[in-house]
Amino acid sequence: MDSKPIVTLPNDLIERSKEFARETVAAYRRGDNSYSFDVSSHGAEFNAELQAHARMAECAFCLWAGLDANVALNWTSRCDPGWDVYYAGRRVDIKATHARGRYLIWPINKRVELFQKKTFDDLVLVRGDEPTFVIAGISSKQEFENAFQIAGRDHVLDAGTWYVHESDLRDVPERTPEQRLLDGLMIASMSECHLAEWSRRKR
C-alpha cells in the first residue's frame, strides 16, 4: 500500500485541466511559445492528453498543499516563468508521470544550459492517472544535479534522459503556519493571476 500522500482530483479541476490542455495545444499550433516549442520532445506540444495529465498533476499538488489551483497556477497561454507553483517560500517545478512511473526526469531536449537557467528551486514528482495522484517526492535543484543518472540504451527511459528514482527523493515537507501565510501573501501579490481568475469566474 502506498504510504505517500494520495489526492483525488474533483471533476471541476479535471475538466479545467482538459480545457487548458486544448487551449495550450491550440496556442502551439498558432506558433505561440516558440521557445517552449524548441525544447519540447515526443510531440508533447500537440498532445492534449499529455498536457492535461501534466496540469492535473500540478492541480493535485496544489490540493495536497492547501493552495487554490485556480489561482496558484498559471492558466494563461503564456509560458511559465520556469516554475509552476510557489510553496513554502520556494519555486516548485512539478513533473508528472503515470501511476506505474517511478522516475523524476529532466527531459532529454532540455539540456544543461536550460537546467542552469531555469528559475526553480525544487522539482516535485507527482505520479498517477485521472483522478488519483500521489505526491511522490521532492528534490532541490542542487540535489537533482548532484544525484541524477543518465539513461542508457537499455533503460525504460529514452537514452540520454537525466533521472532520479523515486526511492531517492525526499518526502515533500508540510508548511509551517508562517510559511503558509508568506505563501499566501506572495500569491496575492500576483495581481495579474488573480484578475484573470476573477474574470474567468465572472463569465
For CA atoms 6, 16, 108, 122, the dihedral sign is: negative
The answer for residues whose C-beta is within 8 angstroms of residue 55's C-beta and 6 or more apart is: 17, 20, 21, 73
What is the structure's pLDDT at 43? 55
Most confident by average pLDDT, 39-53, 106-120, 187-201: 106-120
Q: Where are the alpha helices (DSSP H) in 66-121?
A: 69-72, 112-117
Q: Over the stretch 9-37, which tens digit does the pLDDT of each residue have? A: 999 999 999 999 999 888 777 766 544 44
What is the structure's pLDDT at 188? 78
**Count: domains in the chain:** 1
Angstrom distance (rounded) from CA 175 to CA 92: 14
Q: Is residue 186 part of a domain?
A: yes
Q: Is residue 146 part of a domain?
A: yes
Q: Over the stretch 150-187, which tens digit does the pLDDT of each residue have? A: 999 999 999 999 999 999 999 999 999 999 999 888 88
What is the structure's pLDDT at 202? 46
Q: Is residue 104 part of a domain?
A: yes
**Lowest-confidence region among 100-104, 131-135, 158-162, 193-197:** 193-197
Angstrom distance (rounded) from CA 107 to CA 41: 8
What is the structure's pLDDT at 2? 62
Question: Domain residues for 179?
Answer: 6-202
The length of the chain is: 203
Q: Is residue 1 part of a domain?
A: no
What is the structure's pLDDT at 4? 95
